[in-house]
Chain A
Amino acid sequence: MFRFLLAFFVVLNFTIPVLAQETGMAKPAAKYVTTRILTDTEMLRPGQDFTLAIEQTIQDGWHVYWKNPGDSGEALRVKWTLPEGFEAGEVAWPTPQRIPFGPLMNFGYEKTVTYLIPMTVGNVVPDSPKITADLEWLVCSDICIPETTTITLNFPAPKTDPAFFEKARALMPQDVTWQGEAQEKDGRVQLAFQPDAEILPLVRAAKDFAFFPEEWGIIQNAAPQSVTVTEQKIIVDMARDTRALSEVPLIRGVLAWVDPAGIRQAVVVEAPVPMMAMENPVSAPSSSSPTLSDVTVFQALVFALLGGLILNLMPCVFPVLSMKALSLVKMSSKEQSHAVKHGLSYTGGILLCFALIAGVLIAFQMLGAQIGWGFQLQNPIIVLLLAYILFLIGLNLFGVFDIAGAQFSNIGTHLTRKKGYAGSFFTGVLATVVATPCTAPFMGAALGFALVQPPVISMLVFLSLGLGLALPYLLLCVFPRLRAALPKPGVWMETFKEFLAFPMFASAAWLVWVYAQQIAGFYGLLLALLGFVSLGFAIWAWKKSSKPQPMKSILRGLSVVGVVTALAIAANSMSLPQETTSPTTQETGAHGGINFTQADFDKARAGDQPIFVTMTASWCITCKVNERVALHVEETQELFREKNVVYFVGDWTNQNPEITKFLESYGRSGVPLYVYIGPRDPVSKQRPEPIILPQLLTPGLVADTLNPN
């Protein structure tokens, strides 16, 4: 009962002042907080900057609030009445304390607090300038009392001891330029900051860390926070609250700690919210599902099949396939059962390869490695080996040499014998190997889908892709009628075969270009080209040694040396200085694209300008074509300038986990990827949904995306 009476007394206590205020009577004196305003300048000169301090002394057991009061409460509000032309800046808030109340947490101040306000004097100073502040605040212990006061400062004002202002400034969190990164996972939000190197040892020895978010609803205020200091970073791990991250593109706040000397330090930090998190708000059913859900399993399988079919037409695969197909022409209908078996062997070779690739990819992904489709080409050794293989196939097609296992052109003769099946199987393997550089446009979405699915579905999509690659030849084998549609065999086949060497050489030339970008310096390129010479020499020596002659064993030895040299050069690629960062290719450099980093991107995204992101790689032909035709043309670049577009170019030629992550967030596992994010709406403060452009671009398409309607 006593409590109730007390409470009733309190009610009376604050209802009366409010009534008084409404009827315009004198303001009551604040009971729990004493407020003073002080100035660091006694005489005001026109245009001068000076600082005011609002000092509050709070009764023991009570507290007032920081700008984000936490779970409840209200921060100080100030309404200034200033002489004409004077300006008051934003209140600077000292580092707050965590003040728990039952299961709730408040951020605020106990005992005493000094806020600082930057002021500017107008161009004209009146005779006796007067600054008036109407202040209102909430002061709480286990109950809350609203208080108000009005303070007028007349100038010239009594000067305050500079030490007072120095002390107040020392209690402010410092502005720093630490790079920040926000991550959300399993109901936690993790902020990572990269402080200056010299401060890290001090932070590592510090204790009593606390992070105070400026925005509500991002973290559970009362939950314990854990702080880890690694070699380079400070990581703050906190329980996530339910407000959608899309409403807070940048998590800003104050990070405080007590240093080994027992002094409380604090800095203002910010961490951009990664896009993925913004697209999947925690609360509210997600209306903006990523592109993945647009693709069903069935569609992915169909796309993969189509993609595989298209792979047949790629310059690296087509020659292999067409020779294989033409070899069937020679077959009579009597050999039908053989033909079917050959078709199946070939298909088996392809499917096994795809199963292997998928297996490796899935295994790596399960281990958490950031790799995606096309990863094979991120390793210079593989790139050079592929170039060698294409070069050798070209020479073979040219008729420079024959190797029993790799005679696609003569395979028809083997068909009458059963042991040719192994040859067909390896042709399938070879077709897969040479197909890998040519990622067809259709495959992006399907493979991206595949890699984020459960392993079984991933595997199915990859196998479907392989089946697509195998299908044309398999159909020719199974249906003799289709073979009848092929041209009749003749001398032209030899000429055609020789001609097909050129797409092979062209593919090899292109791979050498890719290789040159993966290794730093022209020395490596020279070595690679010498590797081709060694291979050529090895073939020549081997051919010479086939005739009976005294030099035979020496020539064979030289041939082996040639091959070994070529392989050694490839193996050496890794020890060459690598382009560790993504090489900025000439095109990107010349067209003002910003090299993609997640941090820069997040920063841009937190801003207002429209953003265009291109994800490319030098081994991606589709990307290069798009850049030539639609992106790095004057028309598009002009449009970018006009719209103030922030243009990011991410180069995935070499491994880059950030880009891989970005691709995955759009349901892709490979390049190209083009994303346009429209400007922030000035009214709603929201950005429109990101638009994913098709994998084949035209300037018109880009223009339409940037100019909706």
Chain B
Amino acid sequence: MKLLALTVAALALITTPVLADNHAEVGKPAPEFTAKDTNGKDVKLSDLKGKIVVLEWTNPECPYVVKHYETKNMQALQEELTKGGDVAWITISSSAKGKQGHMTPEQANAYIAAQGSKETARILDEDGTIGKLYAAKTTPHMFVVNKDGVLAYAGAIDDNDSFKHDTVKGAKNFVRTAVEELKAGKAVTTASTKPYGCSVKY
């Protein structure tokens, strides 16, 4: 049965050139992935069960990502949420080789150090596998997985989709709210929003 489902999924991937949206769906188990991070360590989503996992799609050269990093908004959120140790923050770049935002692990680590970025791990998904699995469309496109591995939030980082830096202040941060609600054992009130930003450079 499982084999059949896999075959069907594979066929669907072959026949449709679009993102397979039905793979990552709020309320359903988050698609499993395993990948090496920028330090060569294996990151496996299912190993993080018991923790809340935040997935952040990034492209350091996208104006919207720049908005959240220049203003230190992203770093502050990473630090705040991962502080207690019960949240893992995985930053993923799906920029293909030769496309904007593509980096080698060394370049990425240099960028992390320069920006003071506080993610738990950063994955360079240059063939776009994880991005397509999650139908990541924009940078930043944010996902929150609950302790049981179920996708609890998908969408924008906050409710102000402007590229202007002064719009970070006063914006309602959906990711923070989702994680706080999950920590309090509540259901996520706003579980899906329109992601904004630049397209992921597959």
Seen from chain A, the residues whose Cβ lies within 8 Å of a Cβ on chain B are: 3-4, 7-8, 10-11, 14-15, 18, 21-22, 71-74, 77, 101-106, 136, 138, 140, 142-146, 187, 216-217, 220, 222-223, 239, 241-244, 282-285
Contacts and interface: CB of A to CB of B under 8 A. Distances in A.
12 contacts: A3-B102, A7-B61, A11-B60, A18-B165, A72-B137, A74-B162, A103-B202, A142-B100, A143-B61, A187-B22, A239-B21, A284-B192
A282 to B, nearest CB: 8
Contacts of B199: 71-73, 101-102, 104, 106, 140, 144
B166 interface: yes
B53 interface: no
Given A10-B100, A140-B198, A143-B198, 18 more contacts: A18-B66, A71-B199, A74-B161, A103-B202, A105-B18, A138-B198, A142-B99, A142-B100, A143-B62, A143-B201, A216-B194, A220-B18, A242-B192, A243-B192, A283-B26, A283-B27, A283-B191, A284-B27
Contacts, number: 119
Interface string B1-41: 00000000000000011110110011100000000000000
A545 B200 CA distance: 94
Given A11-B61, A138-B163, A73 B21 contact: no
A10 B61 contact: yes
A22 B165 contact: yes
* Main SS class of interface, B: loop
B107 interface: yes
A222 B66 contact: no
B58 interface: no
B70 interface: yes
Contacts of A18: 66, 70, 164-165
A146 B70 CA distance: 15
Contact of B63 (A77, A145, A282): A145
A144 B62 contact: yes
B191 A284 contact: yes
A603 B102 CA distance: 48
- The residue in A72, A140, A222, A285 that gathers the most chain B C-beta atoms within 10 A of its C-beta is A72
Nearest to B99: A142
B196 interface: yes
4 A-B pairs with the lowest CB-CB distances in the bound complex, closest first: A72-B199, A216-B194, A102-B202, A146-B163
Nearest to B66: A15
B165 A239 contact: no
Nearest to A143: B100
A239 B19 CA distance: 11
Contacts of B60: 11
A104 B99 CA distance: 15
B17 A283 contact: no
B98 interface: yes
B122 interface: no
B132 interface: yes
Contacts of B138: 71-72
A138 B99 contact: no
A187 B22 CA distance: 9
B200 A15 contact: no
A220 B132 CA distance: 13
A74 B196 contact: yes
A220 B195 CA distance: 14
Nearest to A103: B19
A72 B19 CA distance: 13
Interface string B144-163: 00000000000000000111
Contacts of B26: 242, 283-284
Interface residues of B, number: 43
Contacts of A74: 161-163, 196
B198 A144 contact: yes
B105 interface: no
B63 to A, nearest CB: 5
B17 A103 contact: yes
A259 to B, nearest CB: 28
Nearest to A148: B164
A282 B137 CA distance: 19
A153 B197 CA distance: 31
Given A104-B200, A144-B62, A217-B192, A22 B166 contact: yes
Nearest to B17: A103
Given A10-B61, A15-B66, A223-B16, A4 B163 contact: no
A534 B61 CA distance: 92
Given A101-B199, A103-B132, A146-B163, A14 B63 contact: yes
Interface string B132-147: 1000011000000000
A138 B17 contact: no
Nearest to B62: A144
Nearest to A4: B107
B161 A3 contact: no
A551 B22 CA distance: 82
A222 B165 contact: no
Given A104-B137, A144-B62, A283-B26, A220 B161 contact: no
A144 B17 CA distance: 23
A144 B63 contact: yes
Contacts of B196: 72, 74
Nearest to B138: A72
A188 to B, nearest CB: 12
A216 B201 CA distance: 20
Contacts of A138: 63, 163, 198
Contacts of B194: 216-217
A187 B138 CA distance: 23
- Most chain A C-beta atoms within 10 Å of own C-beta, residue among B17, B100, B132: B100
A412 to B, nearest CB: 62
A104 B196 CA distance: 13
Contact of A222 (B18, B63, B103): B18
Interface string B85-122: 00000000000001111110001000000000000000
Contacts of A136: 162-164
Contacts of A217: 192, 194
A7 B197 CA distance: 17
Most buried by B among A22, A101, A144, A145: A144
B134 to A, nearest CB: 12
